[in-house]
Chain A
Amino acid sequence: MQRCNLTRLDVGFLEAVNMTAYDTLDNLKSAALSRVWAAGTSGELDAIETEYLGRKGELTQMLRSIGALPPDQRKDFGQALNLAKNQLAEAIARRRDELGDREISAALKNEAVDVTMPGRFFQIGGSHVLVDTLKKIKDIFIGLGYEIFESPEVELYDYNFAALNYPEEHPAQDEHMSFYITDDILLRTHTTAFQHRVMKNRKPPMRACTLGKCYRVDAVDATHGHTFHQVDCFAVGRGITMADLKGTLHTFASAMFGKNVDVRFRPDFFPFVEPGAEVAVTCTICDGRGCNVCKGSGWLELAGAGMIHPNVLEGAGIDSEEYTGFAFGFGVERMPMLMYGINDLRLFMDSDLRFLRQF
């Protein structure tokens, strides 16, 4: 390349200039470049750079000797000298990059790890699957305009039964075998017990919801327990109908199960509602075609529901002629059991971390 540059100089000029200066430059540059290409470390390269281009470097020195040339030749030679310096600097930079890459990769090679060794696993926190289910339910009802109420588990017999239109000594109480603390105080057998507490302190229209533990005297096995969780909702207002109840449960079930399910109502008896209904939704496992879970019926029982009995409204001082309302309640454990195929109710409260960490 440097030869080419020189050939550009015309013959007259070649004859005229001091040939020695050009030759010296040319030789110096060739030697420098071959040392650059041969340099094995960036330290070596630094030394070469200093030797030629440093303040006292050889090419730098040549620039100082330019004054010895005849004035008319100084410009041309100066140009040639600068060109040579630039070429050398460029070559050093290129070589430095090459050497740098090589050195870094060599260094990285020394730092190799065994990627199959175990990570220092963070023990991350996790939520309880049943509390998550309760939260999801709660959020759906908040979205439907319900206010969430806290409600006591240690409840008055009267609120658990009498205020809910349970006659004294009635077989309707047979499914509600209660744990008693005194004659008048028991552990609520259903979250429905909150109704009277809210109704007597509020004025219609109201939409209320509560969630929590309930207790019944029951032997413990895979599908029964003395403790379970329930959700109860009610709405009271002017012109609230059973069709509204159907729509509300349809909306809830569709949001809960994440697909548009059908809702089936059939008459059932709960003393605090009239008409009363048992609510089933399309089996979410088989989409209603019939499977083991729904025992071939295509339906899953979801909730007990109905129009609030006038006796309940009147007992709370609400005019049952002016206002109507609906109420429904359901168990919570069943939902994650269906969603995740959990086959034993006891797992929820046994607190085995191997179970809880799966969700």
Chain B
Amino acid sequence: MKLSINWLREYVDFDCSLHELAHALTMAGLEVEESRELLRSELVALGGEGVADDVVFDVKVTPNRGDWLSVLGVAREVGALLDTSFRSPAPEVAVISPEASDLIRIRIEATDLCRRYVGVVIRNVTIGESPGWMKDRLIAAGMRPINNVVDVTNYVMLELGQPLHAFDYRLIRGPEIIVRRARAGEMITSLDGIHRELHKDMLVIADSERAVAIAGIMGGVDSEISKQTQDILIESANFNNVGVRRTSKRLNMVTESSYRFERGVDPSITAVAARRATELVQDLAGGEVASGIVDVYHDPVGAMEVTVRPERANLVLGASIDPDEMASYLRRLGIDTRPRNGVLICNVPSYRPDVTREIDLIEEIGRIYGYDNIDVTLPSGASQGKDSPEGSFRERLRVILMSCGAQEVLTHSLVPSRFAEVAGLGAECVRMRNPLSEELDAMRAALTPNLLQVVARNQAFGTTNANVFEIGKIYRQTQNGIDERLSIAGAMVGSLWRSAWGLPEKGLDVDFFACKGLVESLLSALGISGVRFVEVQDEPMLHATRGAKIMVGDTSLGFFGEASPAAREALDVRGRPCVYELDFGSLMAATPELLSYTELPRYPALYRHVAVVVADGIRFGDVKQVVLESGQGKVEEVDLLDDYRGEQVGSGRRSLTVSMVFRSRERTLTDEEVNAVLEGIKGALQTRLAASFR
């Protein structure tokens, strides 16, 4: 809100500098965001008269303090802060013919949405320009002068915080003014020229035939003040904040009036504002008050009694303010305060609807005392801090993956819904009801599409090698609601080296086995044993014959493998990226809490290499299993040295060069013993897998 300092000075005296004033207001919660000089020449350039130089404060009014949305409200605060005198408005109105109810009758039908309605009819006004001083004020406040009557309504709103509306009285089919809900399908053309359909929950001001204004938001063009206007009806009313807000949102109309009503307008000011407007209209546009001031006020609001215990205030604030001091702070704020039996009894005026209980008064005491004057201490008592189990596990995972050379990334949870479809999760996709755009219409159902997108984006930037991971939430629609869970995933493409001149080309680029190696490194670093890798053909993210599920017992921890051609195409990624995605919770559950120490071997190991020739369909895993099963407990480790297919073994066959480590935990094995075991193994391979040896 823009606040003219010249205007402020009409209501409150202060002799501090404007810099000090701005600081005092800011430190009391009314932040002065900007202070700007407004020179006479500038006012003239903006259509004003430039009566005097001014300074304009741009203040940020918090939504709880509707009372600050006026010169009067800020003046009251300045008075309290600087403990200086503040003047209440006392408009003088000459009423010619009191209570001429044939000119205006007011009927409030929707009493829940309108607490008070004050109407004044002024006849024989002369519409014209406003005087220079008034134009200057309006311009300083950021409004545009229109004509003397409309300007008066705006002026009083800015000054007292009460939105007003002026109707051309002769264009209203009176005398009855009805405050009612709109009828279904009722239309109005508002002052901005838009023809609007009203909803039956919206409050309107109506004459005997039709709606003439959208209550608290905007008047209609049918009764607009024009140059020809002679008689006017000034409306000063108190509309319900929630009602105005709903209508304003529904019609997508935010006006100076709706803004104030939403934040609450003091019902005690309604009539004062009407009188102030009448006084100004008479001064500036002439005319006579023909109707008296008609005031319909049901359910009047008075001061509210709230008590505060000084010791409680000090306990909450961590201060030791004297109770008399507290009482004086509250009185300065216009809150009538008297001590009784050790507590302060406070009568909170109606312009402070935000103060309803003790804690609100404690805040007021704190504000005037100054937050800066409150001590700096720490809560007493020790307390043991700790991370969440997921939080600690997440840190472990980060360290392992970074040690594997992976770069951590953070990607958006708001993604296009097609990402879920790429991952085959379209049915489980959580969609936004009000998305920002089509590209942000869903929550991610998996991390891997995001990570492939990261790869694609980096490829576009010219970064062709990527090994990225993310630990983050995924979201899926299930029968029991939305399942939000942590997931851990990665994508790899290109070389694992940044510069690899002189190395053999084969094996430098990431492939299925590099990805598997990373997954295995992760599982092994976590101490997870008994992992099985099972072919998976139906995972949409994965290549149909280069993908695997990660199984521990009957639980699938996730999957990894080469990205499917469909996923590569959908995410516009080049090369042959590999991806992995594991369920964080399952991985955490599979991780042993404590790893136990294994005694180091005391006896030496013996090593043997065997080239096992088997049919193509036989997997390394099958060979390994037979070796372990037929090794008489002497085989410590089985590894693969080479996988050869070609002339030397004949078509349809492969030669697996397998290395074996033999060791006993009880004694030193002899060559003869190991050879005997090896013969047994070979025999088993021969019978069980039809293997031959090279």
A residues sitting closer than 8 Å to B (CB atoms) are 117-128, 130-131, 135, 138, 141-150, 152-154, 168-172, 174, 179-182, 185, 187, 205, 207, 213, 215, 217, 219, 226-227, 235, 237, 239-244, 246-248, 250-251, 263-269, 271, 274-277, 307, 309-310, 324, 348-354, 356-357
Q: Residue B63 contacts which of A170, A180, A242, A263 (CB distance < 8 angstroms)?
A: A170
Does the CB pair B378–A123 fall under 8 Å? no
Known A150-B391, A169-B246, A241-B316; judge A267-B376 contact (CB<8 A).
no
Residues of chain A lying within 8 A (CB to CB) of residue B499 = 118-121
By Cβ-Cβ distance, the 5 closest A-B pairs, closest first, are A243-B318, A241-B318, A267-B29, A145-B383, A125-B402
Residues of A within 8 A of B501 (CB): 117-118, 120
Q: How far is the CA of A199 from the CA of B461 in the complex (A)?
A: 47
Contacts of A352 in B (CB 8 A): 457-458, 461, 463
A154 CB contacts on chain B under 8 angstroms: 430, 443, 475, 482, 484
* Other contacts beyond A125-B402, A126-B407: 17, CB < 8 A: A121-B497, A142-B385, A179-B432, A226-B414, A241-B316, A242-B318, A243-B375, A244-B318, A246-B318, A263-B376, A266-B29, A267-B367, A274-B359, A275-B366, A351-B410, A353-B407, A353-B461
Please, how many angstroms separate the alpha-carbon atoms of A283 and B635 in the complex? 65
**A135, A145, A213, A244: the one within 8 Å of B382 (CB):** A145
| Contact B457–A351 (Cβ < 8 Å) | yes
Are A213 and B473 in contact, CB atoms less than 8 angstroms apart?
yes
B residues 462-517 touching A (CB-CB < 8 Å): 463, 465-468, 473, 475, 482, 484, 495-503
Q: Tally of A-B residue pairs with Cβ under 8 A?
A: 252
Contact between A357 and B407, CB atoms less than 8 A apart? yes
Could you tell me which residues of chain B, from 16 to 52, have a CB within 8 Å of some CB in chain A? 26-29, 31
Is the CB of B388 closer than 8 A to any CB of chain A?
yes
In the assembly, what is the distance between CA of A271 and CA of B463, in Å?
A: 47
Query: Which residues of chain B in 376-405 are interfacial with respect to chain A, using CB atoms and an 8 Å cutoff?
Result: 376-388, 390-391, 395, 398, 401-405
Measured CB to CB, the closest approach of chain A to B489, in angstroms, equals 13
C-alpha gap A122/B496 in the complex (Å): 8
Among the stretches B123-131, B338-346, B433-441, B670-678, the one at the interface with A is B433-441
- Complexed CA–CA distance, A179 and B436 (Å): 9
B443-465 interface (Cβ within 8 A of A) = 443, 454, 457-458, 461, 463, 465
A144, A182, A187, A241 — most chain B CB neighbours (10 Å): A241
- In the bound complex, residues from chain A placing their C-beta under 8 Å from that of B443 are 154, 187
Task: Give A142's nearest chain B residue, CB to CB.
Answer: B385
**Quick one: given A121-B499, A356-B407, are A244 and B378 in contact (CB under 8 Å)?**
yes
CB nearest neighbor in A for B354: A269
- Tell me if B641 is interfacial: C-beta within 8 Å of chain A: no
Could you tell me the distance between the alpha carbons of A309 and B358 in the complex, rounded to whole angstroms?
11
In the complex, B360 has a CB within 8 A of chain A: yes
Residue numbers in B under 8 Å from A219 (CB-CB): 436
Known: A122-B497, A127-B398, A275-B366. A241 touches B383 (CB 8 A): no
Q: Which of A143, A181, A324, A350 contacts B385 (CB 8 A)?
A: A143
Cα distance A310–B377 when bound, in Å? Answer: 22
A128 & B408 in contact (Cβ 8 Å cutoff)? yes
Q: 5 A-B contacts, Cβ less than 8 Å apart?
A: A122-B498, A145-B385, A150-B388, A267-B29, A274-B359
Contact A247:B377 (CB < 8 A) given known A128-B409, A181-B482, A207-B385: yes
Q: Please indicate the chain B residues that have their CB under 8 angstroms from the CB of A268 in the complex.
A: 29, 62
Tell me if A264 and B377 are in contact (CB < 8 A).
no
Chain A residue numbers with a CB within 8 Å of B62 are 268-269
A contact face: mostly helix, strand, loop, or mixed: mixed
Question: Once the chains are docked, how many angstroms separate the CA of A144 from the CA of B383?
Answer: 8
Known: A122-B405, A181-B433, A351-B457. A174 touches B63 (CB 8 A): yes
Given the complex, which residues of B lie within 8 Å of A276, measured CB to CB? 363
- Partner among B409, B430, B465 whose Cβ is within 8 Å of the Cβ of A356: B409
Contacts of A240 in B (CB 8 A): 379
What residues on B are CB-neighbors of A227 within 8 Å?
Answer: 412-414
Q: Are A247 and B376 in contact (CB under 8 A)?
A: yes
B585 vs chain A, min Cβ distance (A):
11
Across the two chains, which residue of chain B brings its CB closest to A185?
B482
Asked whether A351 lies within 8 Å of B414 as measured between CB atoms, the reply is no
Instruction: Let me know if A179 and B408 touch, CB within 8 A.
Output: no
Is A179 a contact partner of B435 (Cβ separation < 8 A)? yes
Q: Given contacts A125-B407, A169-B246, A182-B433, are A148 and B391 in contact (CB under 8 A)? A: yes
* Docked CA distance A145–B362 (Å): 28
A209 CB to nearest chain B CB (Å)? 8
Q: Report the Cα distance A43→B680, complex, angstroms.
A: 51
Question: Are A180 and B433 touching (Cβ within 8 A)?
Answer: yes
When the two chains form their complex, are residues A269 and B385 in contact, meaning their CB atoms are under 8 A apart?
A: no
Residues on the A chain within 8 Å of B618, using CB:
none
Q: Which residues of B contact A251 (CB under 8 A)?
A: 378
Query: How distant is the Cα of A215 from the Cα of B414 in the complex, in angstroms?
Result: 9
Q: B317 to A275, Cβ gap below 8 A? A: yes
Which B400-430 residues have C-beta < 8 A from chain A? Answer: 401-414, 430
Interchain CB contact under 8 A, B380 and A239:
yes
Given contacts A276-B363, A351-B454, contact A131 B63 (CB under 8 A): no
Nearest CB in chain B: distance from A334 CB, A: 16
Q: Which chain B positions have C-beta within 8 A of A350?
A: 457
